[in-house]
Structure 1
Amino acid sequence: MAYVFGVVLFALGICVSVALHEAGHMVTAKAFGMKVRRYFVGFGPKVFSFRRGETEYGLKWIPLGGFCDIAGMTALDEVTPDEAPRAMWRFKTWKRTVVMAAGSVTHFILGFVVLYLMAATMGLPNLTAEPAISTVYDCVRDAQTDEEFANPVCRPGDPAPAKSAGIQPGDEIVSINGQHTETYADVTTLVQPLSGPVAVEVERDGQVVPLTVDVVQVERPVQDPADPNGPDKIVSVGSLGLTFANMIPYNAATALGGAAGFTGDMFVQTWQRLMEFPERIPAVVSSIFGGERDPNTPVSVVGASRIGGEAVEQGLWSLFLLLLASLNFFVGVFNLLPLLPLDGGHIAVVWYERVRDWVRKLRGKGAGGPVDYSKLSAVTVVLVLIGGAVTLLTVTADIVNPIRLQ
């Protein structure tokens, strides 16, 4: 039941995102005085509708999209005589740009809100692997005497390097023996060969605090590079007696900055994923015919909903929310690509007309006519067919060979 609830909840989140995307177009269009004929959530047969003022609002049976019908989105759209003065194409370029970009901006706002709620309640994933400390152990022990390496029931005389030095949960290690540490991997690499007093600097409440930690050598199992399939071998490594945070905690105030920084990181990752998108399609095709499904391959709404269901089933609410935020950022960025029929394609056409008319004015000529969208129809059809094929592939892969949480 938890899985089904998660799938339904994630699908509902997608529907709300789509509805708000179209609402972004509608609200900005109405604010500028454009006429909005219809605002519908979903596609297919109509479930119900009602009219308020000049706009018809409604719901359709297939909740996988929606639309906002603005009169005169292009100069080629038919408008009635009473609509003509308020046709969208008559408005200034910047106003039309705002209206067409409002859908993506809504996704960005939704993604930020989800991240802020995560930060304020459960923290944000430590994507940059910063060496923030989550736990300081009471002692550290060898692998042979303690399978967990840090037994909560410590024996008299067991060393407690980090605790004895005054390191606290929430501290961030910034240097080891004067060497800067950007990630917890840096800390591990520097500490493992050490033993005895070590100069450690931590950042605490915005200030750098110098400490001295008496690093101890303990025995740990590691994979033997010469025999990766064989048993681990026991080696001696330096230990601080702490663990690093997988989630960075925030309060209601600091969550704003945390969510803003995390949003920037997600924009970078989203752009990278978009650039890698074409090269990952062959792996999707391979997975349909029995190949191993690469977890980095694109997923459809079906696949994302399944992962969301598994996250809820396993109690991984942070993953559920992160996936929902990621989807909003991806859709928002993707929709701004300068390709028709995406909003970004319409924005590109509007600015092409603006720049063209500016150049014509410099040459002493009048403004040119509106772009003939019919000449772009062939390109639009090709892009729609490609988009449809990719959607079909990802949906098929998500049904026959879905990505699963381990």
Structure 2
Amino acid sequence: MTTLMMILGIVVFAVGLLVSIAWHELGHLSTAKLFGIRVPQYMVGFGRTIWSRKKGETEYGIKAIPLGGYIRMIGMFPPGKDGKIESRSTSPLRSMVEDARSAAFEELQPGDETRLFYTRKPWKRVIVMFAGPFMNLILAIGLFLTVLMGFGITQQTNVVSSVSPCVIKASANRDTCKASDAESPAHAAGLKPKDKIVSFDGVPTGKWNTLSDEIRKSAGKTVPIVVERDGKRKTLTATIVTNQVVKKDSSGRVVDGYVPAGFLGFTAATGVVHQDFGDSVTWMTDRVGDAVDNIVALPGKIPALWDAAFDHAPRKPDSPMGVVGAARVGGEIFTMNIPATQQLAMALMLVAGFNLSLFLFNMLPLLPLDGGHIAGALWESLRRNVARVFRRPDPGPFDVAKLMPVAYVVAGVFVCFTLLVLVADVVNPVKIS
């Protein structure tokens, strides 16, 4: 049964991956057609074509390796001085440029002269290239909102799970009291498991972060605590002490380190909590910030990833993870001993996170990513406007093909990194349980 559920989770993620890729390319396709650019192909996957059908002027199909997708647009690069491609050269870098330009014109047909990608105004090209990542962002937001507001997420609540009899530092790494330990304020006040803390020092505490923040800033104060117990409300009084507690960031999440703060002395119960729209937006904003930080920190994580792949070092929870690793996590989700609704919610979160990463990654201003083409179009617009202001001749379209040597280097780095992540995902995968 466990194996079957693991396979089911992998299939769910694979379907989500294919939908995400197809959705991304649909953004490029729809906007390209909107602006009259001819698109001969729309493909999901790479490698051998396993199914295709031509509708109108576009061939739609699925390829054997579901690790990406593409649309083929006519005239991605402007012609060279000879009207099509540069004369052949013995320079490897020049050959890359010429090959890229040649490929952009290989399917040119009569009447396509007015339907080339490079002939569209820069703002239209920006829209076409941005539409793909934007579709991933829209899908991520939709899935996040579905989970946060529809299914809810597991988090700490204002319900008491257990009460600590004494005051113990967070760094002490023990949960048993010593004779020298002072009695905890919660124990002295008579707080009990299953109590629901309704308010703290007059502040309504419907959310855990509100309650936690109020406790932390109340060191040295004697405060009233209203709890709901057995359907009735009861007011307790506690004198909050200063203790060493775990550090939290601005969004209320626990981070490395400890700080001195107010301490009551109880463990909050966890439960599935539905978020309202405002909380959901805040949560998603935090996740975008985390994703950006992870991309910036990516180069610094490569040594640890190498050690995990080849030296049997422990795989860190925040280690970069590829499609294989994510599929494995998807399978593991469906083997967890949690309600089926939460299994589905976690799987949707995984697909949503994948789409958010696709959006941010593709927006990097590097060829061959979408962001590289966007940067080229913006640069062309800038220099044409500058020429217009200073009454200079129009410099013409920016030749993105000249950046293809850089694109090949970037692609090579991405391929090497992808292979490293693949090895780590196979021999030393990230686990969630």
Residue 278 (str. 1) matches residue 299 (str. 2): yes
Match of 1:395 in 2: 422
One-letter amino acid of the counterpart of residue 249, structure 1: H
Match of 1:98 in 2: 127
Distance verdict in 2 for CA 1:159–1:64, change over 3 Å: closer
What are the superposed Cα offsets for residues 245-273 of structure 1, whole Å, 9 maximum, x if unpaired? 565413xxx3x434333221111111100
Distance verdict in 2 for CA 1:140–1:264, change over 3 Å: closer
User: TM-score, normalized by length of structure 2?
Assistant: 0.72
One-letter amino acid of the counterpart of residue 307, structure 2: S
Residue 213 (str. 1) matches residue 244 (str. 2): no
What are the superposed Cα offsets for residues 345-368 of structure 1, whole Å, 9 maximum, x if unpaired? 000011111111111222222211
Q: 2:223 aligns with which of 198, 211, 214?
A: 198
Aligned residue pairs: how many? 351
Q: What SS does structure 2 have at the residue aligned with 1:364?
A: coil
- How far apart, CA to CA, are the structure 1 residues paired with 2:56 and 2:138? 28
Match of 1:135 in 2: 159
Match of 1:47 in 2: 50
Within 5 Å, which residues of 2 pair with 1:26-105? Answer: 26-76=29-79, 77-78=104-105, 79-105=108-134
- How far apart, CA to CA, are the structure 2 residues paired with 1:164 and 1:57? 57
Match of 1:4 in 2: 7
Match of 2:274 in 1: 249
Match of 2:332 in 1: 310
The answer (yes or no) to whether the contact 2:205–2:211 under 8 Å persists in 1 is: no
Once the two structures are overlaid, the 10-residue window that deviates more, 298-307 or 315-324, is: 315-324
Q: What SS does structure 1 have at the residue aligned with 2:40?
A: strand
What are the superposed Cα offsets for residues 66-123 of structure 1, whole Å, 9 maximum, x if unpaired? 1111222332431323122122222222121111001111111111111111023321
The answer (yes or no) to whether the contact 2:158–2:205 under 8 Å persists in 1 is: no
One-letter amino acid of the counterpart of residue 292, structure 1: P
The answer (yes or no) to whether the contact 1:112–1:259 under 8 Å persists in 2 is: no
The answer (yes or no) to whether the contact 2:41–2:59 under 8 Å persists in 1 is: yes
- How far apart, CA to CA, are the structure 2 residues paired with 1:14 and 1:112? 16
The answer (yes or no) to whether the contact 1:310–1:405 under 8 Å persists in 2 is: yes
Distance verdict in 2 for CA 1:399–1:161, change over 3 Å: closer
The answer (yes or no) to whether the contact 2:199–2:226 under 8 Å persists in 1 is: no
- How far apart, CA to CA, are the structure 2 residues paired with 1:164 and 1:66? 51
The answer (yes or no) to whether the contact 2:149–2:280 under 8 Å persists in 1 is: no
Question: How much does 1:278 deviate?
Answer: 0.4
The answer (yes or no) to whether the contact 1:43–1:62 under 8 Å persists in 2 is: yes
One-letter amino acid of the counterpart of residue 355, structure 1: L
Residue 24 (str. 1) matches residue 62 (str. 2): no
- How far apart, CA to CA, are the structure 2 residues paired with 1:370 and 1:103? 23
- How far apart, CA to CA, are the structure 2 residues paired with 1:20 and 1:399? 28
One-letter amino acid of the counterpart of residue 87, structure 1: L
The answer (yes or no) to whether the contact 1:161–1:216 under 8 Å persists in 2 is: no
Structure 1 residue runs of 4+, over 4 Å off? 139-143, 157-168, 181-185, 187-194, 244-247
One-letter amino acid of the counterpart of residue 392, structure 1: L
Question: How much does 1:125 deviate?
Answer: 5.5
Once the two structures are overlaid, the 10-residue window that deviates more, 367-376 or 33-42, is: 367-376
- How far apart, CA to CA, are the structure 1 residues paired with 2:235 and 2:305? 52
Q: 1:380 aligns with which of 404, 407, 414?
A: 407
What are the superposed Cα offsets for residues 175-201 of structure 1, whole Å, 9 maximum, x if unpaired? xxxxxx96655455467877xx61459
User: TM-score, normalized by length of structure 1?
Assistant: 0.76
CA RMSD of aligned residues (A): 3.5
Q: 1:327 aligns with which of 348, 354, 361?
A: 354
Match of 1:172 in 2: 205
- How far apart, CA to CA, are the structure 1 residues paired with 2:193 and 2:314? 44
The answer (yes or no) to whether the contact 1:72–1:89 under 8 Å persists in 2 is: yes
Match of 1:361 in 2: 388
What are the superposed Cα offsets for residues 349-388 of structure 1, whole Å, 9 maximum, x if unpaired? 1111111111122222221133333431221111111000
Residue 113 (str. 1) matches residue 142 (str. 2): yes
- How far apart, CA to CA, are the structure 2 residues paired with 1:307 and 1:242? 29
Distance verdict in 2 for CA 1:159–1:52, change over 3 Å: closer
5+ long unaligned stretches in structure 1 = 127-131, 148-156, 175-180, 203-210, 223-236
